[in-house]
Copies of this chain bind each other. A is one copy, B any other.
Amino acid sequence: MQTIQEYIATHKNRFIEELIDLLKIPSVSADTAYSQDVLNTADAIMESLKKAGCDKVELCETPGYPIVYGEKIIDKSLPTVLVYGHYDVQPADPIDLWDSPPFSPVIKKTAIHPEGAIFARGACDDKGQMYMHVKALEYMTSQGNLPCNVKFMIEGEEEVGSESLAWFVPRNTEKLANDVILISDTGMIANDIPSITTGLRGLSYVEVEVTGPNRDLHSGLYGGAVANPINILSKMIASLHDENNHITIPGFYDKVEELSREERDEMAKAPFSLEEYKKALDIDAVYGEKDYTTNERNSIRPTLDVNGIWGGYTGEGAKTVIASKAYAKISMRLVPNQNWEEITELFKSHFESIAPAGVKVKVTPHHGGQGYVTPIDNIGYQAASKAYQETFGVTPIPQRSGGSIPIVALFEQELKSKTILMGFGLNSDAIHSPNEHFGVWNYLKGIETIPYFYKYFTELSK
């Protein structure tokens, strides 16, 4: 029997090639032009699960893209790990900012990744991180040392709100029954500072439309005399934060958990250099809610960001037009205890109430999800912590993430089990951005660490 380290040494080139093949399929779930590619990716994942040793693999139909399900049940009396991941990716726009085509993966060395990183849309989020689990399973089944049962549930709509998964999970609670859920769709602090995400923010994502006059107008003849939807939208957006960058929506903070000074002091121990943070983003100052640090602002505090805005003439040159309509996409990151549907309703009422006479406002909720916390005394957390200690040689740091995986709260509600977020990506991996990449070292380190999680989780479950 080979150790995981020996197995990786033998097969690492193939592991990389297989991931590259997967990254070549542009599985952009947000754009229907890619729907066949999304389906083809699901097929490829099915094949890979079969090859990795799953006994039963199936494509589960949903109202949207199918969910790939696979399982290997070795003994019903043993614990069951449910692996969740997603095979869809973010849109690649803006394409012209990519140094190489987003769906033609290339391996390049960077300062942080001296052993090379794979550059492609989805390299880290989440094809690379999801595929680590497939390869870890391949190792365990090939060597006959899988210590427990395993189920895979890989969806194709994570980047557009996981609606079909939310439909699927409550209808398949028996099939999905498990003792712990394992996800690699987050990051860690640094390659020498592993961390485990213990908290996720919730999300409420809405689109707003402001309509002024019933048609585009000449700005000379009408300028100054009618409400300009772009000016009004800007004003409404601006009013959503006060001078301390608190969000002004009434009731928004009512259920926000206030951390104690002790907890905040504990968090503040995570290594963080504000200078390096600013330098990496090329900004001369950070910006955010008064009386909170950068790491608090993006983890334990709720936020409101405009993700897109458009209206009027946006082509070359000048056009003196007052647009009839202006639009924005706005998302709010929520903290545990904030209910996303309630927050969406608060946003909608407030936004409609601040519209001045002269415009009409429409708020359309896109999607959302609850925040989530895993306590560090949970045996899943402890098994993960021991696994990292094996392969990184240090104890990982528990960390609240600013991101959202709304489905995690749903898992807890429907499947009654806790989720362990073992992420191996880095903040600098540019997920959702041009030039997304995933370190080869990180990819292989994930494959190496995962089998230890199975081992310790099974032992701690006894």
**A residues apposed to B, CB below 8 Å:** 30-32, 90-91, 93-94, 97, 159-161, 187, 201, 203, 205, 207, 212-228, 230-235, 237-239, 241, 281-289, 294-295, 297-298, 301-323, 326-329, 331, 333, 356-359, 366-367, 401-404, 427, 430-435
CA distance A297 to B356 in the complex (A): 18
A331 x B358 contact (CB < 8 A): no
Q: In the assembled complex, how far is the CB of residue A120 from the closest CB belonging to chain B, in whole angstroms?
A: 16
CA distance A413 to B457 in the complex (A): 85
CA distance A21 to B281 in the complex (A): 55
CA distance A142 to B235 in the complex (A): 59
Q: In the assembled complex, how far is the CB of residue A212 from the closest CB belonging to chain B, in whole angstroms?
A: 7
Other A-B contacts than A219-B305, A285-B357, A307-B318, 14 sampled, CB-CB below 8 A, are A31-B316, A97-B215, A205-B318, A215-B435, A219-B303, A220-B333, A224-B402, A225-B288, A230-B237, A230-B306, A230-B308, A232-B287, A235-B241, A284-B357
B309 x A322 contact (CB < 8 A): no
Q: How many copies does the complex hold?
A: 2
B214 x A281 contact (CB < 8 A): yes
Residue of B at shortest CB range from A301? B224
Q: What are 22 contact pairs spanning A and B, CB under 8 A? A: A32-B316, A93-B313, A161-B318, A207-B318, A213-B281, A219-B333, A221-B403, A222-B402, A224-B288, A224-B333, A225-B294, A232-B287, A233-B309, A234-B235, A234-B238, A285-B358, A305-B322, A307-B313, A308-B312, A308-B321, A314-B327, A318-B366
Q: Which of chain B's residues have a CB closer than 8 A to the CB of A433?
A: 215-218, 321
Partner of A221 from B215, B298, B328 at Cβ < 8 Å: B298
A322 x B303 contact (CB < 8 A): no
Residue of B at shortest CB range from A219? B305
